Structure 1
Amino acid sequence: MTHKNTFLYAGLSAALLMGSAFAAQATVVTSIKPLGFIASAITDGVTDTQTLLPDGASAHDYALRPSDVKRLQDATLVVWIGPEMESFMTRTVSQMPAPKQLTLTALTPVKSLLIKGSDDDGDDHHGHNHDTENRDEDHHHGEYNMHIWMSPEIARRSAVAIHDKLVELMPQNKAKLDANLQAFEANLASTDQQITKELAPLKGKGYFVFHDAYGYYEKHYGLTSLGHFTVNPVIQPGAQRLHEIRTQLVEQKAVCVFAEPQFRPAVIEAVARGTSVRMGTLDPLGTAIKPGKESYMQFLTQLANQYQSCLKGE
C-alpha cells in the first residue's frame, strides 16, 4: 500500500468511525413507553428511539441507575413529561444542554390542554386515613393531571414538537421527518375516529379504575368513570375510600372495576366480591406493544378494546 493510499485509507476509516459514532449517539430517549410510541413514529427510518423505564416499572417509584444516567447524557434528544411526573429524572435532565431536552408540559400548545388533577375535583378519594392522605397528596403530580400521553390531541402536539426538535438537530433528515409526522397525524386522525365510534355506546356505563391515570382518555371519548381507588398506585387506598367504592358497587352504579398489569391488588377483588360487577384490566403503559410507527395507534386501540371487553361484558 502506497503512502498516499495509506493516508486515504486512514482518512476514510476515521470518517467511518466518526459516522458510526454519530449513528450510535443519534438516539432519542423517552422517559416512558407511551412517549416512545409517539417518538418512534417520528424517528422511523431516521434514528433509534429508546425508553428509559423498563417494562413493569412505574414512574411513581423509579430510581435512576448509573447506566440510565449515561443513556440520558449520551442521547441526542431526551423527551419527558416534566419534573411533576418523572421527578427521578429532574437532576440529570437539568444538567443537560437545552437543545437536547424536550419537556412536554412546558410547551405552550400542551399547557393549554392540561386538565386539573383529581385532588382539585372535590372528591374525597383519599378517605380519612390522614397518614395515607398526606403521602398520597405529596406524590400527586402537582396541580395538573400529568398522564398526558392518554390524550390523542396532546400526543399529536407532542409529535409536532419532537419533529421540530429533530429537524433542528438533524436538518439533513428534514424530508423524512416531515413525511413521518404527516403519516402519524393521518393515522392518528383515522384511529381516533374509529375509537370514537366504537366507544360511543359505552357512554353512561359507570366503572372504577385502579389509579388516576385515564382522565384525558375518558374526557376525550366521553367515558363515565365513577372514580379511582388511589392517586398513587404504590399506596393502598384507605378504609373509608374502600367503603365508599363498595357501597357504590353494591348499589350497582358501576359495571366494572379495572385493575392494571403492574398493579393487581387483592383489595380490588375483595371490594368487588359478592357483587355483580365485572373485573377488567387497563394497561396505561402499553406494556406488550412494541415501539414503531403504528405503536401509538395500537396503544389507543388496545385501551378501547380493554374498556369495551369489560363494559360490554364480552
Structure 2
Amino acid sequence: MNYRKEFRKATAVLAAIVLIGGFTACSSKSTESNRKTITVSIPPIKYLVDRISGNEFDVNVMVATGACQETYEPTPSQMKDVAKSKLYLGISELEFEQKWLNNIKANNPELKYANLSEGVKMVEGSCSHEECEEHEHHHGGMDPHIWLSPANYKVMATATLNELVTLNPKNKSSYEKNFKSLVASIDSIDAIAKSKLANLKIKKFIIYHPALSYFARDYGLEQISIEQDGKEPAADYMKRLVSQAKEVGIKTIFVQKEFDLSLIKSFAGEVGATIEPINTFAYDWLESTNHIINALYSANQ
C-alpha cells in the first residue's frame, strides 16, 4: 500500500473541507452583515416591524421594557446601532424623543425619522411631573401612550408598512401580506375588548400613572389616576380617592411595572382592592393588550 499517496489524498480532502468551511463562514458573515438595521423607540414598535417584515431587520430598541422612558439614557452600543440605521420609527410625544431626538438627528443626518403618532387624534397628558424614582421631567402636553389603543395601533401599523415598503420596495407584497395578518389580529383584540367591556357595571378604573387614556376613550371607560398632575398625590386627594373607590366599588388598582408599588400597596389596603400589574411597554402587544382587557373584565365580576 502506497502510504504517501494515501496521505496526500487525505491531506487534499482535508484542505478542501477547510476551504469550503471558510467560504461558508464568510458567506454566513456576509449574509448577516447585509441585514439592515432599523431603530425604534419602544418595544411595541419593534413588534410592528417584526410582524410586518417577517423579522427581516435587526431592530435596535432604544427604551427597553421596564425602563422609564422619561429618564432613560441610551447606551453607547445603542447609539452605534442608530448610526447603522436607515430608519427611525418613533413617537414624537415620548419624552425620551423630546430629550434625545435632536441630538440623534444631528449626529446622523442621513437617518430618516418617521413619527408614528401622525394621523392619531391626540389627547392631553400631564405636564411637568415627578415619577420613575422621583426624577423630574415633562410630558410635552400630549399623552404619548397612543399604542395602547387598538385603533391607534392600526394607524401605527399602516405607517410602519409604508416606511418599510419605502425602505425595501422589492418585498412589498410580503410586507402587505404580513400586514393583513397583523391587522386581523388587532381587529380580533378590538372585538374582544368591545365584547367584554361594553356592559361593565363599573366603568371607572384606577391606575397609578394615566397611561390608558386612549384605551378608555375607545371603550367608554373612565380612567382615574393616582398621580395628581403627574406628581405623587397629596394626602387629601388620596382620602377622596379612597372614598370614591369604595363608593363605586372598585376592587382592582392598575399599576405599570416600572413604578414603585409601596404607595399603591397602602392605598389598595385602605380600599380593600387587589393590585394588577400591567406592562404598557411590552413587546408582545397582542398579549399585553389582551391582559389589560381581561383584567378590567375580571375586576367587574
- Structure 1 length-normalised TM: 0.76
Aligned to 2:171: 173
Identity of aligned residues (%): 23
1:261 aligns with 2:273: no
Aligned to 1:94: 105
Does the 8 Å contact 2:226/2:232 carry over to 1?
no
Q: Give 4+ residue runs of structure 1 displaced > 6 Å after superposition.
A: 12-17
Deviation at 1:144, TM superposition (A): 1.6
Q: 1:185 aligns with which of 180, 183, 186?
A: 183
Does the 8 Å contact 2:242/2:270 carry over to 1?
no
Does the 8 Å contact 2:85/2:111 carry over to 1?
no
Aligned counterparts of 1:39 and 1:231: Cα–Cα separation in 2: 34
Deviation at 1:307, TM superposition (A): 2.1
Give the letter aligned to residue 125 of structure 2. Answer: G
Aligned counterparts of 1:45 and 1:63: Cα–Cα separation in 2: 26
Aligned to 1:33: 43
Aligned counterparts of 2:237 and 2:227: Cα–Cα separation in 1: 7
Aligned counterparts of 1:237 and 1:100: Cα–Cα separation in 2: 40
Aligned to 1:114: 122
Aligned to 2:115: 103
- Alignment CA distance shift 1:250-1:199 (3 Å): closer
Q: 1:81 aligns with which of 91, 110, 121?
A: 91
Q: 1:53 aligns with which of 59, 63, 76?
A: 63
Deviation at 1:15, TM superposition (A): 8.9
Aligned to 2:244: 248
Give the letter aligned to residue 211 of structure 2. Answer: A
**Structure 1 residues without counterparts, runs of 5 or longer:** 1-11, 120-125
- Alignment CA distance shift 1:308-1:98 (3 Å): farther
Aligned to 2:272: 276
CA RMSD of aligned residues (A): 3.1
Where 2:114 maps in the other structure, the secondary structure is strand
Where 2:208 maps in the other structure, the secondary structure is strand
Task: Compare 29-38 and 200-209 and name the one that shifted more.
Answer: 200-209
Aligned to 2:18: none
Where 2:267 maps in the other structure, the secondary structure is helix
Give the letter aligned to residue 290 of structure 2. Answer: T
